[in-house]
A and B are shown apart, each in its own frame.
Chain A
């Protein structure tokens, strides 16, 4: 079964607004990653946050990790139409090597 659960399943916003996606997981992890997938394409790695980190930034992306709540959030600021895609969180379990993907959030940014 999938490790991560994400909400919302779908999100529709106007260009310029911020988009926040959340991810919850079940077991102890080494790290958590966020990926982006454009329709019908492979996934692109966005950002990795380690279990001992609480927040990480990359450009317009901000990721937080709360290991006590087993949750993470991805914030995209000042969204653009080109940000329209599906976003997946993925966890690497402590002691394991597999990466397990969440169900994903489909983001639609209206121009």
Chain B
């Protein structure tokens, strides 16, 4: 199957700093990538849909100025958590759809963010 790489896998930062998470499709071009947030023992909550070359589409309740998404190329989308606070601590997961593969999503391994 297609491979999606997410980096970093774990980040600890101080309150007020910004953190960037990268999501790369390694062996296919992804026009659409998705960013999810997952709380412990809960399901994935879609935050935004990242479209190559255009602005991301954010889900209701997700602050676009807080969670900046950039999809500058067909293989890379980034999520920047700006001015992070302890309540932003969570597990963030990206996924990408491979063209011609239906709606199957290929997931990165996730990034655990801990804000002190």
Report A's interface with B, CB cutoff 8 A.
Answer: 2, 30-31, 33, 35, 40-45, 48, 88, 90, 92, 97-104, 106
Instruction: Specify which chain B residues have a CB less than 8 angstroms from the CB of A35 in the assembled complex.
Output: 107
Number of A-B residue pairs having CB atoms within 8 Å of each other in the complex? 57
Instruction: List 13 contacting pairs A-B, 8 Å CB cutoff, sorted by A.
Output: A31-B103, A33-B105, A41-B110, A42-B4, A42-B95, A42-B110, A43-B44, A43-B93, A44-B107, A48-B103, A90-B105, A98-B46, A104-B43
Count of interface residues, chain B, beta-carbon cutoff 8 Å: 24
Given known contacts A40-B91, A98-B46, A98-B49, A45 and B105 CB-to-CB distance under 8 angstroms: yes
Instruction: Specify which chain A residues have a CB less than 8 angstroms from the CB of B41 in the assembled complex.
Output: 106
Report B's interface with A, CB cutoff 8 A.
Answer: 1, 4, 6, 32, 34, 41-44, 46, 49, 91, 93, 95, 102-110, 112
Asked if residues A33 and B103 are in contact (CB atoms below 8 Å), the reply is yes
A100–B34 Cα gap in the complex (Å)?
A: 11
Asked if residues B93 and A92 are in contact (CB atoms below 8 Å), the reply is no
A35–B103 Cα gap in the complex (Å)?
A: 13
Known: A43-B93, A45-B1, A88-B43. 6 other contacts (CB 8 A): A35-B107, A41-B110, A43-B95, A45-B106, A48-B102, A100-B46
